[in-house]
Amino acid sequence: MKIIYILVIALICFSCNSEQTQENDLVKKNHSTLIPADEYLYFAEDCSHKILSSKLIEQMSAKMYLFRNDLLTEEEVIQKVIFYLESEPSTDQKSELEKYSAKIDWSSWSPPSSNHPLGFVHAEVQIPEFEKYLCSELIKKVDSGEIELHPDILMKLNELNK
């Protein structure tokens, strides 16, 4: 009878450890991690007012932290963003915006409307190049173009308690 209890306890311990390993792998895969406060990205004061959401800074900071710790490759250090502009840019303005390696989806352009004074376009930006876009005269506001569909506090707590 003691052997059965020992086997049951061993199976429970093994299954808990297995679940924890799967959760940690999922955390790495989804790039969800808690980062130290001094690892957050900071931007020039005269440009930072253009950022609409702290979520954008949080996402980029987490990716850069993972990159510096060799958990992301250089190709993965990109951020999907939404650039807000006063009007549709001219051809010269478009080429100026694209010169820093951003992939801007001009087909997603949505012009300003009566209830929203700025138009917007979707883009993918290399995070190290982000501040160049942020400080551009053409860009009036910037927000995250990424969505977290399944935020899970337990995964973040697991990562913290490693």
Evaluate whether residue 159 is within a structural domain.
Answer: no
pLDDT at 40: 92
Evaluate whether residue 72 is within a structural domain.
Answer: yes
When divided into structural domains, the chain yields a total of 1
Output the domain CATH number for residue 130. 3.30.70
pTM confidence score: 0.71
pLDDT at 88: 93
Q: How much is the average pLDDT of 80-96? A: 95
Q: Is the dihedral of CA 124, 149, 26, 65 positive or negative?
A: positive
pLDDT tens per residue, range 3-48: 776 666 766 766 655 444 443 443 444 445 678 889 999 999 999 9
Evaluate whether residue 137 is within a structural domain.
Answer: yes
Residue 57 has pLDDT above 70, yes or no: yes
